[in-house]
Amino acid sequence: MPHRTSRRTLLTATAAATAAAATGVLSATGTASAHPADASTNATTDRRLRRIIAGMSLEEKVGQLFVMRVYGHSATDPDQADIDANLKEIGVRTAAELVSTYHVGGIIYFAWAHNTRDPHQIAALSNGIQQAALGERSRVPLLISTDQEHGIVCRVGEPATLLPGAMALGAGGSRSDTRRAAWIAGAELAALGINQNYAPDADVNVNPANPVIGVRSFGSAPESVAELVAAQVKGYQGAGVAATAKHFPGHGDTSTDSHTGLPVIEHTRQEWEELDAPPFRAAIRARIDSIMTAHIVVPALDPSEDPATLSRPILTGILREELGYDGVVVTDSLGMEGVRTKYGDDRVPVLALLAGVDQLLNPPNPSVAWNAVLEAVRGGEISEARVEESVLRILRLKTRLGLFRDPFVSGRGVDRTVGIRKHLLDADRIAERTTTLLAAPGALLPLSRRTHRRLLVVGADPASPSGTTGPPTSTLAGAFTELGFAATALSTGTAPNQAKIAEAVAAAQGRDAVVVATYNITASSAQLALVDALVATGVPVVAVAIRNPYDAAHLTGRGVAAVLASYSWTDVELRAAARVIAGRARPEGRLPVPVQRADDPARVLYPVGHGLSY
């Protein structure tokens, strides 16, 4: 397995710190605070909700368990291309038809499904969906959800406020900044009618080769991750949006992407307790509204080798009974290969419910999944009481969010909340405190406009997260220009060929400095050839790792004048990196993960907590 040696070193290194934390806030056995439903949902409310459930048909009860995607910017009048996509994938024309056909309890928004064009459109779509739900016989409002982690996973883009992602916040190390970022995000989502956010990521990223989590995690130290997870739970839920800790029981140590395969986590039960469990325990103590499952196999927790999403020992035995969680459990997307490898699409939703799940997220074929659950209940494999148990949890959550009182939002609320100046300024200041200066052997920084005015910005331009204004090189160049530099952008891509490298070398002539944006460098990456060629020109080179800070292992010692980490290539983080390079802000970030040596992964090059300043 890639990076196995370095990962095991990290497991050992973090165990002692975790054990110490376990005696305090991260008690290995502490489950004193279960779910908010235990304390805040009184018997009167439950009786009212049970009456609502008793009035539902079986089809409506089953529908409440499903959270589905749907194409279109409007609940009733989407574009023809979206109607065609809905008919092909879902068998309905519109979001309103999805609600009336399957009685779904929730809908998830995606940018690629054209749900999130602009704030007023999103609010109108949310209102249209809620109107369709209230027109149903049961009159139960919907949970409208999305993945708004920020950083590299962001479904609602500008003009909404974009914020640093989890690992950037981990580098900042501030619980107040982390909570404030979540509150801003939550307040803006709530104004758009989105009331359930699939964030924060509670995975502890102890594998540098992790292809799916990485910078979506707050870091590699369980106790630090736990603190920041709890801070975000309080921020989101304080703003009126349900938070979702993911991906239980912990997706931080894998070299397989569960979107395309079935990862196996080889942690022992003790390692799981020390490394993976603390953030979920902290989320539960922070009264988390929902927890998302992982499509991963953890043999130490369930020797059947079923993915956790379908594992009763993991979801009921550990999450429900051992950790004492009685809130909403939602699957990760049921369209991912990790959950489809072992069982067919008709069995997956049934097995998930039997394991202890409440919400079934985005099955690839809703008709197959919905009818499979109906047949399982009619045939006695799943009792109707078991379905009602999950429906009650879902309705409790809808009650806590105030959806039965008023599920609608207003255009005025959008204007007063989304992308307002205060939020944007806070985002900029928070981002500045996350930018990390990892190496500065050339004593070049901060750049001065007097001596290094003419800049060339080159490097990788990966596809931008939703709603950002442009490619990273253009964004960086624009930020430097606003700061008074004469900056030019040249995209060289993630795998520059010799012609592109030669073009960059020629463009560097006459420049005072070159800024290179790197993206997921490996030992054989052509990006290193680009860096070497630019260093050979004699023009000072500053490297910015715009995703994984692990790039620094390959950049250190190559003659670059400085190496920084921004942890994402969203506009807010790149603008902050530019201000740090230009001396308009001090680099305050500290590594939340260790960076191992490229030539000897068993040895640490930059430890957790490393970061330079000037």
pLDDT of residue 36: 47
On whether the pTM is more than 0.85, the answer is yes
Longest dimension (CA), the chain: 78
pLDDT > 90 fraction of the chain, expressed in percent and rounded = 89
pLDDT of residue 82: 98
For residues 553 and 531, give the distance between their C-alpha atoms in angstroms, rounded to a whole number.
14
DSSP 8-class letter at 419: T
pLDDT above 70 (res 28):
no
Answer yes or no: 259 catalytic. Answer: yes
Q: Please report, as a single letter, which amino acid is at residue 345.
A: D
pLDDT of residue 174: 97
Phi-psi region of 139 (alpha: psi -120 to 50; beta: other; left: phi over 0): left
pLDDT above 50 (res 183):
yes
Q: What is the mean pLDDT of residues 530-538?
A: 97
pLDDT-derived band at 442 (thresholds 50, 70, 90) equals confident
Count the alpha carbons within 13 Å of 428 in the hemisphere toward its beta carbon. Answer: 14
Domain 435-606 fold is Rossmann fold (3.40.50)
Q: What is the pLDDT of residues 5-26, one digit of tens each?
A: 344 444 444 433 333 333 233 3
pLDDT of residue 255: 87
Q: What is the mean pLDDT of residues 91-112?
A: 97
pLDDT of residue 467: 61
Q: What is the mean pLDDT of residues 323-332?
A: 97
pLDDT of residue 506: 97
pLDDT of residue 582: 97
Query: Per the residue annotation, which of 332, 358, 461, 571 is the catalytic one?
Result: 332
Residue 563 and residue 555 in contact, taking contact as beta carbons nearer than 8 Å: yes
pLDDT above 90 (res 156):
yes
For residue 405, count other CB atoms closer than 10 A to its CB.
8
Q: What is the pLDDT of residues 129-141, one digit of tens each?
A: 999 999 988 899 9
Query: Per the residue annotation, which of 118, 257, 259, 428 is the catalytic one?
Result: 259
Of 36-50, 95-109, 488-502, give the lowest mean pLDDT range: 36-50
pLDDT of residue 465: 67
pLDDT above 70 (res 433):
yes
pLDDT of residue 27: 30
pLDDT above 90 (res 32):
no
Q: What is the mean pLDDT of residues 433-442?
A: 95
pLDDT of residue 477: 97
Of 130-139, 379-388, 467-476, 510-519, give the lowest mean pLDDT range: 467-476
pLDDT above 60 (res 277):
yes
Whole-number Cα distances in Å, 234 to 127, 231, 274, 287: 26, 5, 23, 8
pLDDT of residue 16: 37
Domain 4-19+34-417 fold is TIM Barrel (3.20.20)
Answer yes or no: 332 catalytic. Answer: yes
For residues 541 and 275, give the distance between their C-alpha atoms in angstroms, rounded to a whole number.
38
Q: What is the pLDDT of residues 345-400, one digit of tens each?
A: 999 999 999 999 999 999 999 999 999 999 999 999 999 999 999 999 999 999 99
Q: What is the pLDDT of residues 542-590, one digit of tens each?
A: 999 999 999 999 999 999 999 999 999 999 999 999 999 999 999 999 9
Beta bridge partners of 612: 437
pLDDT-derived band at 256 (thresholds 50, 70, 90) equals confident
pLDDT-derived band at 468 (thresholds 50, 70, 90) equals low
pLDDT of residue 31: 33
pLDDT of residue 39: 44
User: What does the mean pLDDT of the chain come to?
Assistant: 92
Which structure tokens are listed for 260? 């395309």
For residues 492 and 401, give the distance between their C-alpha atoms in angstroms, rounded to a whole number.
47
Give, in degrees to the nearest 5, the angle at Cα 477 between 209 and 181: 60
pLDDT of residue 42: 82
Q: What is the mean pLDDT of residues 469-481?
A: 91
Would you list the domain boundaries of the chain? 4-19+34-417, 435-606
